[in-house]
Structure 1
Amino acid sequence: MKVMNRLDEHTESYYAATANDLQEYPCLEGNVEADVCVIGGGYTGLSSALHLAERGYRVVLLEANRIGWGASGRNGGHVGVGQRRSQGDLEAMFGFDTAKQLWDLSINAVQLVESLIVRHQIQCDLKRGIMHLAAKSSHDKYLQDETEELRDKYDYRQVEYIEKEEVRELVSSKRYLGAQLDFGSLHLHPLNFALGLARAAVSAGARFFECSGVQGYSSSSPFTVKTARGKVKAEKLILACNGYLKDLEPRLAGHIMPINNFVLATEPLPEGLAREIIANDFALQDTLFVINYWKLSGDNRLIFGGGENYTRRFPKDIRSFVRKYMLRVYPQLENTAVDFGWGGTLAITMNRMPCIGQLQSGLYYSQGYSGHGVPTATFAGKLLADAIYGESEGYNVFSSLPKVEFPGGTLLRWPGLVLGMLYHSLLDRFGS
């Protein structure tokens, strides 16, 4: 894959450097009208714009920076089945019937990502398979039990458990015990997937405006959405801002917590070394609370994510910050150069389930994917389009889930989160 020198306004990441087509869209100037105005140019906004435009709606999408500029263009590229919470947790929280609905919808979400890539011929290094690696003996037992339950209770046959010896053959790391192989999940180049969705939406008739941050909107439909240089008048409004919502909508801000996650990309690895560390070319993630996750890029770089922080600032040296996590897994990469290091902001919820719904008539939103955004956000965009169109079965499942506000709202959520994360990081280090 050819590496570009021109990064535009995207963060200096491997993804931006290998973007297929950093198409520039105009800034909104003057007044326009639409059936639906979408705020946010990540997966949720792009997917909703695409599915609405394909159904004949006049769609205007406003993005404060560039399309795919946020988490949708910076993440690890894992497209996993399931929700952010385990099926056992979901059964305890909502009962088996709802847990089964959420499982089936997660399968639909992964299938949607793949079908969009195929239908719109999006070149995004699509590969199959995710491996979940047990970091502790209790995690190993959990993966064994979950594999059996997924096969027996949910009739999911694309998953199997493997023992420690086979794990070491596939991963070449002594850090992990058993593992769960998931053949139904995918992984990809996330920014190129986002850019492909954008091209498809524009081809279907949607109008995109970049560098058009929203300053506010009127209180009822038809909505008037204001930017620095223009206005959009629309019957329906979709908020698809996620971790970048800030103070645009106070009624939603307290339900999510923005946190930062960090990723590196090594130099291209020799073929032998690449196959040594990931023999089956799956994406991998471990079972720690603050997970490590990694995969090989289309040109054999190791894309490795590790470490979080909960402030508004990124580490000064992201490459070094993430590299220490990588070397705990692969000390054999001590002399491997790290070419890129970058961070991004995502949004988590209290119950780690997406927060989807309608604030009032005509005002829809989706946010809080808690690190499971590639399939979930893409699917959420379709569900919002379905709800506007009048087909709301899947939307109703998610919109009916409890929406838990962080204690203390936006003012006190930060110290509470830091204390909680400190507790879980201690469990990661010292628990069994």
Structure 2
Amino acid sequence: MESLSMWEATANKRKEREQLQGEEQCDVVIIGGGYSGLSSAYHLQKKNVNTIILEKWRVGSGASGRNGGEVLTGYIGSMEAWEKKKGLEAAKKMWQLSLDSIDLIQNIIKEHSIDCAFKRNGDFFAAYKPAHMDALKRDQEYMARVMNYHDIKVVEKKDLHSEMNTDFYHGGRIDAGSAHFHPLNYAIGLAEAAEGLGAKIYEQSEALKVERDARNKVIVTTPNGRVIADQLVIVTNGYAGDINQTIKRSVIPIESIMIATEPLPEELVEDIIKKDRAIHDTKRLLYYFRRTADNRLAFGGSGRASSKRDQRNLFDHLHAGMLNVFPQLKDTRIEYRWGGKVGFTKDMIPYIGQLEDGTHYAFGYCGHGAAMSSLFGKMIADNITNEEVEDNPLIVNQLKPIPFHSQHAKAVGILKFYKKLQDAIS
């Protein structure tokens, strides 16, 4: 699944970073060079806190550089459902955090002139079945009445062609607050912004072991060196290795795959998606897709597979799904196929907090990491520097690892989780 992505093939030029060699010291060592880790370093350096990032591969090699680039408001499920689970005040804070997360990204991009094709044109949530329109209309009414959010507009089936040239869906809703970007170029730009403030980033430098000495200093060992720091941040999300078993067993990595067409004629790509919005749908195994800055269609969906043959079938099936939505693309060549892991939690909501030993973490963005992870990095920085942080309903300081006692139990558990995920989405 980890094949060359279209984002990697079309990325801005990036610098070659060194592997860690020998011993380094800093205030905070961060394991993971995705959005969360880069944002943590960026915001810590702004407060004159010296940071080192250890990345197993290259900056943005995980979900941060492989996702669909849809920077969406909200969470899995409706805010009305989250109000029932968390209470009204917590739901209001959660919603505001999702809006703040996109504002933060927009401000960082503007401040550092990051070339990542950021557009805040909103998203379109497409109704797969006529009955799904009722839920979208109820959500619009709830968001206006309870959350005082009036940027949602329902589009009926008869008006669908004002958004997309397809008859596959039965209408949908627009949320003007969402955005999209080139996800890897954002990661590259955020890394350079952090380094410009003094952060050090070592690539090809997998964290193999974490220890604490008698002074409670953190010692992180890599293949060719080690870092000694006062505090530790682990932000590996769906790519959690064995560095911390509590975190590893609290995140569920779910495969997602994408395909991308060859560059399309401008008039064609502007016809199939009229207003350049990020699009996702209400299918149980959802599709998500969008135009790119170089006039491709990037189209994603579920990627669960157990063999290379299954993977090929999944990509073929996804291509067939794309043609179901846009049959006018039947003669269009697919130029890229790739996949990666999306981090989920048992509660279908991202986690941020600290372990008993003081380790800071954030993970489980549940498909909304393009938006939320930069904000979570800032929250980690604020927590480390003892900034005044408002009550955050997403803080979880006592992780309860999911008890998979064997590989078979893990496989069965993930299958059950897929069913739960499908029910939450639909």
* Letter paired with 2:158: E
Instruction: Give the number of aligned pairs.
Output: 420
After TM superposition, give the deviation of residue 403 of structure 1 in Å: 4.8
- Superposed CA offset, 1:176-204 (max 9, x none): 11211111110010000000000000000
Partner AA of 2:71 in structure 1: V
Could you tell me which residue of structure 2 aligns to residue 77 of structure 1?
69
Is 1:332 aligned to residue 323 of structure 2?
no
CA distance in 2, matches of 1:64, 1:307: 25
**CA distance in 2: counterparts of 1:318 and 1:12, whole angstroms:** 17
Query: Which residue of the partner structure matches residue 5 of structure 1?
Result: none
> Is the contact between residue 253 and residue 410 of structure 1 (CA under 8 Å) also seen in structure 2?
no
Deviation at 1:317, TM superposition (A): 6.6
The answer for unaligned runs of 5 or more in structure 1 is 1-9
Q: Deviations over 1:31-81 (max 9, x none)?
A: 000000000000100100100011101100000000000110010001111
Q: Per the alignment, in what secondary structure is the counterpart of residue 184 of structure 1?
A: coil
1:271 aligns with 2:266: yes
3-state SS in 2 of match to 1:201: helix
> Residues 124-155 of structure 1: CA distance to partner in whole angstroms, max 9, x if unpaired?
11112110011112321110010111111111
After TM superposition, the structure 1 stretch with the greater mean CA deviation from structure 2, 148-157 or 199-208, is 148-157
Q: Deviations over 1:277-322 (max 9, x none)?
A: 1011111100123210011000110011122206586714765342
Q: Is the 8 A contact 1:307 1:325 kept in 2?
A: no
Structure 2: tracts of 5 or more residues without a match: none
1:39 aligns with 2:14: no
Residues 3 and 337, structure 2, Cα contact 8 Å, conserved in 1: no
After superposition, residues 217-256 of structure 1 pair within 5 angstroms as 217-219=210-212, 221-256=216-251
Q: How much does 1:400 deviate? A: 4.2
When normalised by structure 1's length, the TM-score is 0.92
Identify the match of residue 186 of structure 1 among 143, 166, 179. 179
Report the secondary structure of 1:156's partner residue.
coil
Within a 5 Å distance, the mapping from 1:196-207 to structure 2 comes to 196-207=189-200
Deviation at 1:416, TM superposition (A): 2.0
The aligned counterpart of 2:415 is 418
Runs in 1 of length 4+ with deviation above 4 angstroms? Answer: 310-314, 400-404, 422-428
Q: Does 1:105 align with 2:97?
A: yes
1:301 aligns with 2:296: yes
* Contact 1:310–1:418, Cα closer than 8 Å, also in 2: no
Does the Cα contact within 8 Å between 1:406 and 1:413 map onto a contact in 2? no
| Identical-residue share of aligned pairs (%) | 35
The superposition leaves residues 212-256 of structure 1 with CA deviations (integer Å, 9 ceiling, x where unpaired) of: 001011146310000010000000000011111122211112211
For residue 259 of structure 1, the aligned residue among 231, 254, 259 is: 254
Asked if structure 2 preserves the Cα contact closer than 8 Å seen for 1:170 and 1:279, the reply is yes
Partner of 1:123: 115
Following TM superposition, by how much is the alpha carbon of 1:275 offset from its aligned partner in structure 2, in angstroms? 1.7
SS at match of 2:94: helix
- C-alpha displacement of 1:18: 1.1
Q: How is 1:41-190 mapped onto 2 (pairs within 5 angstroms)?
A: 41-127=33-119, 128-190=121-183
- Helix, strand or coil at the partner of 1:52: helix
- In 1, the alpha carbon distance for the partners of 2:212 and 2:306 equals 31
> 1:195 maps to which residue?
188
Q: Does structure 2 retain, via aligned residues, the 8 Å contact 1:82–1:106?
A: yes
- Report the 3-state secondary structure (helix = DSSP H, G, I; strand = E; otherwise coil) of the residue aligned with 2:176: strand
Contact 2:77–2:424 (8 Å) recurs in 1:
no
